[in-house]
Structure 1
Amino acid sequence: MKAKDILLGLVVIVIWGLNFIAIKVGLQDVPPLLLGALRFFFATFPVIFFLPRPPVAWRWLIALGLSINVGQFAFLFLGMKLGMPAGLASLVLQAQAFFTLAVAVLLLHERWLWHHILGLVIAAAGMSVIGAQQGGSMTAIGFWLTICAAASWGTGNVVMRRATQGVPPFSILSLIVWAGAVAILPLALLSWFIEGPSAWQAAFLHPSLNSAASILYLSYLATLVGYGLWGKLLARYPAGVVAPFALLVPVVGLSSSALLLQEHLSIWQCVGALLVMSGLVMHVFGQRWFKPAA
């Protein structure tokens, strides 16, 4: 990769790593489901009027919006509201890589390779260690809701792969924006009936600078700028070259949470985090590292 493109990749990783700080800040004043709806509302309008609908069937576009946007962010925001620390959320959410493969095996008949299985076993051991550390800074429900978010993201990845098979090239940003538009109404309805009109009233009548900054960050930086730059990199380089950058998101998430939110991991959580990262690295690089010499 060219040096400027490596820099772009690192910019995206920093934006996405700090995304978890923005979520935690926003959740202080805005209920989680409403925060999700507002994120996609501002990421969609007015940008959608300048981006043509991607050449993807409506059924796939709706399925993508419901899985990768409604499912992932409803579970993630609820989990973080109910006790999942921002740094650990950035790490546990990366279990999406294994859910992606599991769903692809079931629906697309892809095959598990040895390094996938080994990476899954190592990461699952790490998740088990983290999940066992309930109490203190992390709750059980926050942990499991984040796991559900990772499963929704993994399902959405497979939907995206299936939806884009055989279609002409298009801007990934248009897909992100149009799938985001699908998520607005479901998230708003869930918020209205679960969180209630009083929560909306409190959020809109007494807005804070922190909540406004959080929504702007989530909508424009994390969504439009982040995915826009990521799409440019994917257009220039193979996915196998670009995707490993995502392994740095938990590094930024954990370090920034410790610095800005004073979140500190226990010894066992550090052990679990190290195992999860090792499993992810094995999942991505295992075949390349241990490929027999010709």
Structure 2
Amino acid sequence: MTRDTDQAVPMKDYAVLAMIFTLWALNYIAIKISVNDFPVWTALTIRFSIIVVILLPFVKFPKGQMRSLLLISAVLIPGHFGFLFWSIQNTASVGAISVILQLGPAFSVLLAWIFFKDIPGIKRISGLTIGFAGIVILFYEPTFFDTLDALLAGIASAFFMGTYMTLVRGKNQISPLAIICWSSVLGVPFSLIMALLFEAPIQETLQAASFDSWLGILYAAIASSIIAHGSWAWMLRRQPISFLAPLTLIVPVLAVLATVTIFGEPLTLHMIVAGFIVLAGMGLITISKAYK
């Protein structure tokens, strides 16, 4: 049962949240490492297969939800994950991608406004304006001019994540792990077909891949998708969304710090200011949505 917001948050919950946000932040590192050797669709085929093997024995099929799952899978697989992996593969600015991905809530607000007539209040409109202004400023960073395609792909990935948020709104009959599992089941054949049609022979790729790339895919599948998302679902039952949602903005901060430390990515004042503006806008949206 969700706790009352006036009650103290146990240290155990803070520890779990720290683990979740760290795992999600390091997922950007894992994806970058994995796509060094694996083409996008081959990497996704392996990732989804690992998730299916681990989760399928423990997750029930949600009866009567196949149409919803097909639509969710179409949005997540070629949309969110396809663009995300491609963008990270084609840029040296992984930290910037982690910031851009935070536009997901903004796109969710826009889509709910368009399709569900969910008119946003002044806070959400202000957050949208601030967030997109930050992205415009980010795109004028001189070091990004050779990776604009990757940054645009990152925005597309954020758009599909926002679409996913809109689709699952109110679908309490499908658990988060069930969505992860069954969208992966549906995603394996699609990713495999794309890999066979457009990428190098899978057997050759598997033989040539480094140990680090294999670890990257395993991390993305197990640590990020299963452990972190499963723990997040558990936290949603313990703490109010008004407390949890704003804290997720810690993830891109940790991701930027990780990419700067591990990959030696440049961190300019321009990037810091633009990133702060984006996160401020998304924070305004997140708080207004959480407390509604």
Answer whether TM exceeds 0.5 for this pair: yes
1:134 to 1:142, Cα distance in 2 relative to 1, 3 A: farther
On the 8 A contact 1:17/1:253 being kept in 2, the answer is: yes
On the 8 A contact 2:83/2:156 being kept in 1, the answer is: yes
Gaps (5+ residues) in structure 2? 1-8
Structure 2 counterpart of 1:231, from 227, 233, 254: 233
Q: How far apart are the structure 1 equivalents of 2:40 and 2:145?
A: 19
1:178 to 1:256, Cα distance in 2 relative to 1, 3 A: same
For structure 1, which segment, 100-109 or 131-140, has the greater mean C-alpha deviation from structure 2 after superposition?
131-140
| Aligned positions of 1:46-195 closer than 5 A | 46-55=54-63, 57-83=65-91, 85-135=93-143, 139-161=147-169, 164=171, 167=173, 171-195=175-199
1:46 to 1:4, Cα distance in 2 relative to 1, 3 A: closer
Specify the alignment match of 2:3 in structure 1. Answer: none
Tell me, yes or no, if structure 1 residue 28 matches structure 2 residue 36: yes
On the 8 A contact 2:242/2:287 being kept in 1, the answer is: no
Percent of residue pairs identical: 24
1:56 to 1:267, Cα distance in 2 relative to 1, 3 A: farther
Deviations along 1:157-181, whole A, 9 cap, x unmatched?
111115x16x3xx642122111221
- One-letter identity of the residue aligned with 2:90: L
Displacement of 1:33 after TM fit? Answer: 1.9
Specify the alignment match of 2:6 in structure 1. Answer: none
On the 8 A contact 2:176/2:229 being kept in 1, the answer is: yes
| Aligned positions of 1:211-250 closer than 5 A | 211-250=213-252
TM-score (norm 2): 0.91
SS at match of 2:60: coil
Q: How far apart are the structure 2 equivalents of 1:48 and 1:157?
A: 23
Specify the alignment match of 1:280 in structure 2. Answer: 282
Tell me, yes or no, if structure 1 residue 44 matches structure 2 residue 52: yes
Q: How far apart are the structure 2 equivalents of 1:124 and 1:240?
A: 23
Gaps (5+ residues) in structure 1? none
Displacement of 1:247 after TM fit? Answer: 0.7
Equivalent pairs, count: 284
Q: How far apart are the structure 1 equivalents of 2:271 and 2:72?
A: 33
Q: How far apart are the structure 2 equivalents of 1:173 and 1:10?
A: 20
1:286 to 1:132, Cα distance in 2 relative to 1, 3 A: same
RMSD: 2.1
TM-score (norm 1): 0.90
1:134 to 1:185, Cα distance in 2 relative to 1, 3 A: farther
Q: How far apart are the structure 1 equivalents of 2:204 and 2:226?
A: 28
